Amino acid sequence: MREIDVAHLDDIARGAGILGTGGGGDPYLGRLLTEVAITRHGPVTLVTVDEVPPDAVVVPVSMLGAPTVGTEKLPNGTELLAALRALERARGAEATHLVPIEIGGMNSLVPLALAAETGLPVVDGDAMGRAFPEAQMVLPTLAGIPTSPMAVADDKGNTLVLDAVSSQWAERIARAVCVTTGCSVYTADTVMTGAQLPGGLVAGTITLAEQLGAAVRTARADHANPVTAIRDLVGGVHLITGKVTDVHRTTTDGFALGTTTVAGTDSELRLSFQNEYLLAMRDGEVVATTPDLICVLETDTGEPITTEALRYGNRVTALAIPCDPRWTTPAGLELVGPRYFGYDCDYQGLPSDG
Amino acid sequence: MREIDVAHLDDIARGAGILGTGGGGDPYLGRLLTEVAITRHGPVTLVTVDEVPPDAVVVPVSMLGAPTVGTEKLPNGTELLAALRALERARGAEATHLVPIEIGGMNSLVPLALAAETGLPVVDGDAMGRAFPEAQMVLPTLAGIPTSPMAVADDKGNTLVLDAVSSQWAERIARAVCVTTGCSVYTADTVMTGAQLPGGLVAGTITLAEQLGAAVRTARADHANPVTAIRDLVGGVHLITGKVTDVHRTTTDGFALGTTTVAGTDSELRLSFQNEYLLAMRDGEVVATTPDLICVLETDTGEPITTEALRYGNRVTALAIPCDPRWTTPAGLELVGPRYFGYDCDYQGLPSDG
């Protein structure tokens, strides 16, 4: 158990941006929301998975939508609490802990903002060990824990509670609501007991994000290579260093969809994304796929670049980092492997050294 | 108070088809659902508005979607009860009465089917005095009674309860859910107390539908003119008698949208519809508009023709029947007048004799 204060947020936001593989929404926005909440209400208690009692009611809260929209359409600040309270009313039980649904950008930070506001502790971990675009793409799905009941709140003040027959249907219905209310809503769903957390979470990822963010910050201050500092912490394969020469991006069906090309000195990397970077091809050959983490970093600073912020001329380094091993099981690959997203290739593990 | 049995359903279904101005879903399907429910569970008690105690909890239940889809995608039979129970849980109060949200096709009959199943009485009336395509287009909106909380259930078993900031937002969100789950869902919403019924309902419309259906049946048996029998009961203006020469119809955004042309001996009538017939132009001149009822009847039999059943070659007579006077107030016309639907004309009352 430890306290998270405003001083920790920069490192957490930067590290969550790296682990978010381009998705999870703008970490800058998440940091601002959390900074305001902590300044107003005081610091947040972060507890480890081991410290959570078995009968705890642990609620993931997050933004759902297209990050391209999220950067322009700001929340009004009441959505997360509205979603949490609607879920509590529907379940007839109050939350005892909050947790990020994903370690990625904004969605790593908004549970901290709501925790400051409500006084609830946050569990150090997340339900993916990275970010993914759809609601059912979480380890709880593999562990048999449903997305429903799912509460959705928008910036207008509309709320709903969904009881879907499957987590895939929860995603489809919530996405339709998201699109019709402006492509950015806030959700509380996939409730876990404390006893379910080992199966449902990757433990320690808020602290890992903070360590990554600190490593980048320190490397910069020491005039060392920040990308090397990241690889020293989490390993990973170097995919390319070069310049973004092309970005195709559309906001479709509530997602940021597209491709980008990074030209290196003697090769070219093409990345495909749906909110997150999902497929990397170098000179026509697949070199990394979902569920491994494909991260795009500013080469000079190690700053992560989200799929909605990517633009022509960015000088970037792309890394591939191994995902949580539960994702590379047959059930995991069925849920989040490249074929689910429509890419005509199988998952291939990363070489031990890139 | 009286009982509705299987023997009453044919007349109610036919009359509701006439008053539904082409919308409300296929009355045949509604009759079958209700026939099965009454055969299995026994007859339904129909009460007048005067017989409802002031503290009664009166719940309208209905199908929401594109009738073009509803005729092919049958309900599984559990949706209405699922919607009602979800609404009751969210409100923490049980329904004491059911009522049709609209007197139109299937939606006049499904409350009777659910009433047979649950043993609840049905109030003789509806919230429009006709059918309209959108959820907020009800007299309760004019009386300040909200659509929310609104429960939605689909054929897959998904349910949700929506608490929207306005009835227009309830419609938009429910429509998005409807489209994504297959364009046909079932809803329970716009709950009224007994005391609110005079402001929220047109009283007696189930009985009126039954009388209309009986008048048409009797006229046929007597070799009399069924269209004349209808006008003898509810008045109305004769718009044209002729042949359907053209139907343009698309299923878009969860509605059946289109236009049709009826060629008479010396003039031509063009009808525009969104689930319901909304605008009639004869030889280029507007002759009837929403919120007045525009009804298309088979000329020989007086059988109503819904917008999704309309086809080339139908021999039809079109009538315009005055709507409930609350719809022609400024607030009523803002909600359901021709300009709301995008037609570039003002509402014009019907002449006293067509």
> Per-residue pLDDT tens for B84-141?
999 999 999 999 999 999 998 899 999 999 999 999 999 999 999 999 999 999 999 9
**What is the distance of C-alpha B122 from the center of its chain?**
16
Asked whether the predicted pLDDT for residue B353 surpasses 70, the reply is no
pLDDT at B209: 97
Q: Which residue of A has its CA nearest to B156?
A: A165
* Phi, then psi, of A310 in degrees rounded to 5: -55, 135
Contact list, A181 vs chain B (CB under 8 Å): 169, 172-173
> Per-residue pLDDT tens for B16-61?
999 999 988 888 889 999 999 999 999 999 999 999 999 999 999 9
Residues of A with CB under 8 A from a CB of B: 86, 90, 156-165, 169, 172-173, 175-177, 179-181
What integer is the mean pLDDT of A144-169?
97
Q: How far is B260 from chain A (nearest CA, A)?
A: 30
Nearest to B202 by CA among B299, B325, B319: B325
CB pairs under 8 A between A and B: 60
Q: Which residue of A has its CA nearest to B168?
A: A158
Mutate to test the interface with A, among B85, B89, B150, B158 (most CBs of A within 10 A): B158
Asked whether the predicted pLDDT for residue A78 surpasses 90, the reply is yes
How far is it, in rounded angstroms, from Cα A47 to Cα B349? 69
The pLDDT confidence band at residue A68, using thresholds 50, 70 and 90, is confident
Asked whether the predicted pLDDT for residue B73 surpasses 90, the reply is no
Contact list, A180 vs chain B (CB under 8 Å): 172-173, 175-176
Q: Which residue of A has its CA nearest to B170?
A: A158
> Per-residue pLDDT tens for A257-310?
899 999 999 999 999 999 999 999 999 999 999 999 999 999 999 999 999 899
Q: What is the mean pLDDT of chain B?
A: 95
Contact list, B182 vs chain A (CB under 8 Å): none
Q: Which residue of A has its CA nearest to B159?
A: A163
Contact list, B159 vs chain A (CB under 8 Å): 162-163
- CB contact under 8 Å between A156 and B162, yes or no, is no
Contact list, A159 vs chain B (CB under 8 Å): 162-163
Tokens of A135: 């609601």
- CB contact under 8 Å between B173 and A158, yes or no, is yes
Tell the burial category of B7 from Cβ atoms under 10 Å away from its Cβ (0-12, 13-18, 19+).
exposed
Contact list, B161 vs chain A (CB under 8 Å): 90, 160-161
Domains within chain A, CATH numbers bracketed: 2-203 (3.40.1610.10), 225-336 (2.40.390.10)
The pLDDT confidence band at residue A354, using thresholds 50, 70 and 90, is very low
Residues of B with CB under 8 A from a CB of A: 86, 90, 156-165, 169, 172-173, 175-177, 179-181
- The answer to whether residues B116 and B42 touch, using CB atoms and an 8 Å cutoff, is yes
Strand partners, A192: A58
The pLDDT confidence band at residue B354, using thresholds 50, 70 and 90, is very low
Q: What is the DSSP string of B69-106?
A: HHTTS---S-HHHHHHHHHHHHHTS--SEEEESSSSHH
- CA dist A322 to A23, A125, A245, A294, Å? 17, 17, 27, 9
Asked whether the predicted pLDDT for residue A1 surpasses 70, the reply is yes
Q: Which residue of B has its CA nearest to A155?
A: B165
Work out whether strand A268-274 and strand A255-264 pair parallel, antiparallel, or are unpaired. antiparallel
Residue with structure tokens 């009386």?
Answer: B143
- CB contact under 8 Å between A173 and B177, yes or no, is yes
For chain A, the three-class secondary structure string (H helix, E strand, C coil) is: CEEECHHHHHHHHHHHHHHCCCCCCCHHHHHHHHHHHHHHHCCEEEECHHHCCCCCEEEEEEEEECHHHHCCCCCCCCHHHHHHHHHHHHHCCCCCEEEECCCCHHHHHHHHHHHHHHCCCEECEECCCCCCCCCCCCHHHHCCCCCCCEEEECCCCCEEEEECCCHHHHHHHHHHHHHHCCCEEEEECCCEEHHHHHHHCEECHHHHHHHHHHHHHHHHHCCCCHHHHHHHHHCCEEEEEEEEEEEEEEEECCEEEEEEEEEECCCEEEEEEECEEEEEEECCEEEEECCCEEEEEECCCCCECCCCCCCCCCEEEEEEECCCHHHHCHHHHHHHCCCCCCCCCCCCCCCCCC
How far is it, in rounded angstroms, from Cα B304 to Cα B312? 15
pTM of the entire predicted model = 0.92
> Per-residue pLDDT tens for B222-241?
999 999 999 999 999 999 99
Mutate to test the interface with B, among A150, A161, A167, A183 (most CBs of B within 10 A): A161
Asked whether the predicted pLDDT for residue B8 surpasses 80, the reply is yes
Mutate to test the interface with B, among A136, A156, A160 (most CBs of B within 10 A): A160
The pLDDT confidence band at residue B251, using thresholds 50, 70 and 90, is confident
Q: How far is B147 from chain A (nearest CA, A)?
A: 12
What integer is the mean pLDDT of A171-189?
94
pLDDT at B67: 77
Dihedral sign computed on CA atoms, order B193, B197, B200, B201 = positive
Strand partners, A202: A126
How far is it, in rounded angstroms, from Cα B111 to Cα B30? 9
- CA dist B80 to B9, B140, B154, Å? 19, 21, 9
For B7-25, the three-class secondary structure string (H helix, E strand, C coil) is: HHHHHHHHHHHHHCCCCCC
- CA dist A269 to A226, A245, A296, A308, B77, Å? 21, 10, 11, 18, 53
pLDDT at A151: 98
What integer is the mean pLDDT of A114-140?
97
pLDDT at B43: 98
pLDDT at A233: 96
Nearest to B272 by CA among B341, B196, B352, B187: B341
| A151 against A106, higher pLDDT | A151
| A70 against A38, higher pLDDT | A38
> Per-residue pLDDT tens for B133-147?
999 999 999 999 999
Q: Which residue of A has its CA nearest to B253?
A: A180
Classify B56 as helix, strand or coil: coil
> Per-residue pLDDT tens for A33-67?
999 999 999 999 999 999 999 999 999 999 998 77
- CB contact under 8 Å between A176 and B172, yes or no, is no
How far is it, in rounded angstroms, from Cα B190 to Cα B200? 9
> Per-residue pLDDT tens for A219-272?
999 999 999 999 999 999 999 999 999 999 998 887 888 999 999 999 999 999
Mutate to test the interface with A, among B89, B147, B152, B161 (most CBs of A within 10 A): B161
Contact list, A161 vs chain B (CB under 8 Å): 90, 160-161
Q: What is the mean pLDDT of chain A?
A: 95
Q: Is B158 left (phi over 0), alpha (psi -120 to 50) or beta?
A: beta
Q: How far is A59 from chain B (nearest CA, A)?
A: 19
pLDDT at A314: 96
pLDDT at A71: 75
Mutate to test the interface with A, among B91, B134, B163 (most CBs of A within 10 A): B163
Tokens of B315: 């021999």
Q: Which residue of B has its CA nearest to A157?
A: B165
The pLDDT confidence band at residue A165, using thresholds 50, 70 and 90, is very high
Tokens of B344: 């570039």
Tokens of B138: 């009800």
